[in-house]
């Protein structure tokens, strides 16, 4: 990663200390307008939303107000919580919204299993969404740890 390149998980900039070893992560910046759009975790969330919409188009019409609606709402909630947290005033609030994003991610994971078990999708059809769910779990966990570390080091 080069200097001033966004961190893939948190979007934080890294700065390399000249001739002083590896790059270090700069402390979290004050939220900036549109900053969440630079976060890889938010972009992956958007990708998951699109995948869920594509996948649920194939579900039976009588599930429109059931599983389809729940899956779509849960998916949309993930990047929405990341965005809302990033624009909050404090890093502590950002941590709280990252945790809020983890809830609907777990719901969606469960709903993908149900979609297969109910015969609305097969494992091949849910593979991309399931991989994005796994990736987002790891990314949100890493982002939360980074933010908590920043909060505790400020004290």
Q: Give the pLDDT confidence of 92-107 residue by residue, as tens digits.
A: 999 999 999 999 999 9
Q: How far apart are CA 84 and CA 42, in angstroms?
A: 11
Question: Residue 68: which of 122, 120, 127, 126 has the closest Cα?
Answer: 120
Give the percent of the chain with pLDDT over 90: 73
Mean pLDDT (whole number) for 126-143 = 97
CATH topology of domain 28-153: de novo design (two linked rop proteins) (1.20.1440)
**% helix, strand, coil for the chain, step of 5:** 65, 5, 30
CA distance 78 to 91: 18
| Cβ atoms of residues 14 and 26 within 8 Å | yes
The per-residue DSSP string of 12-47 comes to -BEEPPTTSSS-EEPPPPPP-TTGGGG-HHHHHHHH
Confidence of residue 153 (pLDDT cuts 50, 70, 90): confident
Please answer whether residues 72 and 52 qualify as being in contact, where contact means their C-beta atoms are separated by less than 8 angstroms: yes
pLDDT of residue 151: 84
Does pLDDT of 1 surpass 60?
Answer: no
Query: Model confidence over 24-73: pLDDT tens digits?
Result: 344 444 444 458 999 999 999 999 999 999 999 999 999 999 999 999 99
């Amino acid at each position: 990663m080069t200097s001033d390149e966004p961190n893939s998980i948190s979007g934080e900039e890294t700065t390399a200390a000249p001739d002083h070893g590896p790059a270090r992560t700069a402390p979290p910046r004050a939220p900036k307008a549109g900053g969440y759009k630079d976060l890889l975790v938010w972009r992956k969330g958007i990708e998951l939303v699109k995948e869920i919409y594509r996948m649920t188009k194939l579900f039976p019409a009588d599930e429109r107000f059931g599983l389809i609606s729940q899956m779509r709402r849960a998916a949309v909630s993930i990047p929405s919580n990341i965005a809302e947290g990033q624009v909050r005033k404090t890093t502590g609030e950002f941590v709280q919204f990252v945790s809020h994003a983890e809830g609907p991610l777990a719901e969606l994971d469960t709903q993908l299993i149900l979609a297969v078990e109910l015969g609305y999708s097969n494992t091949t059809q849910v593979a991309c969404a399931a991989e994005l769910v796994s990736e987002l779990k790891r990314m949100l966990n890493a982002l939360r740890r980074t933010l908590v570390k920043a909060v505790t080091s400020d004290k």
